[in-house]
Amino acid sequence: MNSMCEPVMLAIADPDGITRTAPVPPDASLSIGRDPTCEVVLPSPLVSRRHALASCADTGIVLTDTSANGTLVGKAVVLGQSVAVAPGTPIGIGPYRLWVMDGGAGASAPTPDPDGSRPGVSIRSLEVSAGVRRELHRRLIAHLDLVKLERSRMNEHALRARVRLSLQEIVKEADHLLPIGVDRQAIVAELTDEALGLGPLEALLADPAVSEIMVIDPRTIYVERGGCIEKTELRFTDDESVRTVLERIVTPLGRRIDESAPLLDARLRDGSRVNAVIPPLALRGTSITIRKFSKKPWSAEDLVRFGSLTPRMARFLERSVRVRKNVIITGGTGSGKTTLLNVLSASIPEGERIVTIEDSAELRLMQPHVVPLEARPANMEGRGEITIRQLVKNAMRMRPDRVVVGECRGGEALDMLQAMNTGHDGSMTTLHANNPPEALKRLETLALMAGLDLPSRAIRSQIAESVHLIVHQNRFADGTRRITSIAEVAGVEDDEVATREIFGYRRTGTARDGGVEGEFYATGYLPSYLEDFLIHGFVDADGDLL
């Protein structure tokens, strides 16, 4: 940096064609990036938080790249280096165009976008047809051996920068194929994601507000935000590109999905759960469902803040877990059963040995002594399957204090009941059901699936002796999730397993904005194990939970 150089103006063209300028100080660096603390803020997910630094030079500027994906200077990608940039040389940072203005240029004079696109005109990248996208992708494959590059020792950032540079050139050469004013940088970013990542799913996976991603077909993608499902404008090029994304998911796992095995359950590197169905079972094209999970596990305080339960209900559930009561969480699909199971599991004391068993690992227990087990599907030859039931049986030989099963779906329900009744108090699981009484009937049905030819009366007796609490959660039409019933299992009455509700929720109406209105209530019924609360000091002299 030369402190004696003349002041330099940097021009910045936004994706919508609006041009602004920023002075590069003669005695300091100008910070450029997505972070609001930067002097030049470029608010785009394609821009790093602190993407680059610009310093004054004798002729133009010195640009130092500090980003993850690199900066396009002229026709070269700069990654983690400093380069001299002369006036008029185009600089590409995400969807933005920058260049050093000549000394005679007025500070406020609009300047054409250096890549030749027309400023002031913006057309969504979605307007580019599938045929043009396929042609651009074909040219990329012809220009680069992607398979060889992906298998090379080139790091991910350098590989992505190489592909982006090639696509920049390909898009420029194929400019006549694109609609006038289309966002070229958006096309480059989308095709890069399709070539190296998960295509349009990359942006959705990075969005913390999205909890579920649902691909119906290549042109139809829905998401769940705040408990409500909405359609996005994102799309894949064609069904082949969807299948390519699936291959990227399953290949590292040693799995396959094809006509002979058209169903898939898998997990992404970040723990998100993936289900996929391909034709001929999926009639509209390859279908993908991704259940995302919060990077930060929710706490009971978070659920109270969301309105899922009251502080009093939260204290009751936490105390019940601490005094080693067996809990079954019930509800429909997407009602938040696994989230609640994770929250309640946090109340288990740190000194206990916990064995968790799941189809697909979703629980995130913070205790130091946790043994997580995950079921395994059959391999390509149809061998090697390890079921939930096998893991539950094996867990009994691992000296657990508690067993936590992600979900009971079959004969493992009987093994879980036996575990709850043979010295593993405080165990927990989830179950699909519409309400607590139906949950008990479904639990009985699942236990019968164990194939031991036990009479129904014996199974009901086992349920009554093993399960202490049924916690039921509902997802309402407005996307909210609430615990609608907490009931104690009260033995067998008239040859049926009876329950006594302790807390409940009643809907009272609908708000003007369509939201659900209702109230939580306590029935006044005192659980039979109230004495356990007294022994552990969880109840004060007035009988209130501490």
pLDDT of residue 16: 65
Using one digit for the tens of pLDDT, what is the confidence trace for 22-48? 888 888 899 999 888 899 999 887 788
* Residue 149 banded pLDDT, cuts 50, 70, 90: low
- For the chain, the average pLDDT equals 82
∠ CA 424-427-433, nearest 5°, is 140
Question: Does residue 507 belong to any structural domain of this protein?
Answer: yes
Q: Distance between CA atoms of 237 and 482, rounded to whole angstroms?
A: 39
227/376 same-domain check: no
272/354 same-domain check: no
85/133 same-domain check: no
Q: Which of 62, 85, 100 is the last residue of a domain?
A: 100
493/421 same-domain check: yes
pLDDT of residue 126: 53
333/248 same-domain check: no
312/378 same-domain check: yes
Task: Label each residue of 178-199 as H, E or C.
Answer: CCCCECHHHHHHHHHHHHHCCC
The answer to whether the beta carbons of residues 420 and 427 sit under 8 Å apart is yes
Please compute the mean of the pLDDT values over residues 88-104 and round it to a whole number.
80
Matching residue, tokens 């030749």: 116
pLDDT of residue 402: 92
382/475 same-domain check: yes
192/76 same-domain check: no
Question: Does residue 516 belong to any structural domain of this protein?
Answer: yes
85/44 same-domain check: yes
Question: Does residue 119 belong to any structural domain of this protein?
Answer: no
pLDDT of residue 415: 87
The answer to whether the beta carbons of residues 136 and 187 sit under 8 Å apart is yes
Instruction: With 0.75 as the threshold, say if the pTM is over it.
Output: no
Q: What is the CATH number of the domain that holds 249?
A: 3.30.450.90
Most confident of 8-12, 66-70, 250-254: 8-12
Question: Does residue 120 belong to any structural domain of this protein?
Answer: no
pLDDT of residue 504: 95
Among 22-26, 145-149, 442-446, 503-507, name the one with the lowest average pLDDT.
145-149
Q: Kindly tell me the burial class for residue 537, based on how many C-beta atoms sit within 10 Å of its own C-beta (0-12, 13-18, 19 or more).
A: exposed
132/250 same-domain check: yes
* Residue 120 banded pLDDT, cuts 50, 70, 90: very low
* Residue 106 banded pLDDT, cuts 50, 70, 90: very low
Q: Which of 268, 291, 314 is the last residue of a domain?
A: 291
237 pLDDT exceeds 60?
yes
Burial code (b: 16+ CB inside 10 Å, e: under 16) for 199-213 equals bbbbbbbeeeebbbb
pLDDT of residue 1: 43
Question: Does residue 107 belong to any structural domain of this protein?
Answer: no
* Residue 5 banded pLDDT, cuts 50, 70, 90: low
DSSP code of residue 88: T
Please compute the mean of the pLDDT values over residues 370-397 and round it to a whole number.
85
Q: Which helix (H) or strand (E) holds 439?
A: helix 436-448
131 or 210, higher pLDDT: 210
Q: Which residues constitute the domain of residue 324?
A: 300-535
145/255 same-domain check: yes
Taking the alpha carbons at both ends of the chain, their separation in whole angstroms is 64
Q: Distance between CA atoms of 416 and 95, rounded to whole angstroms?
A: 54
The answer to whether the beta carbons of residues 419 and 402 sit under 8 Å apart is no
425 pLDDT exceeds 80?
yes
Question: Does residue 541 belong to any structural domain of this protein?
Answer: no
Q: Which of 260, 291, 322 is the last residue of a domain?
A: 291
Question: Does residue 115 belong to any structural domain of this protein?
Answer: no
pLDDT of residue 356: 93
Using one digit for the tens of pLDDT, what is the confidence trace for 477-508? 888 899 999 999 998 888 889 999 999 999 99
494/347 same-domain check: yes
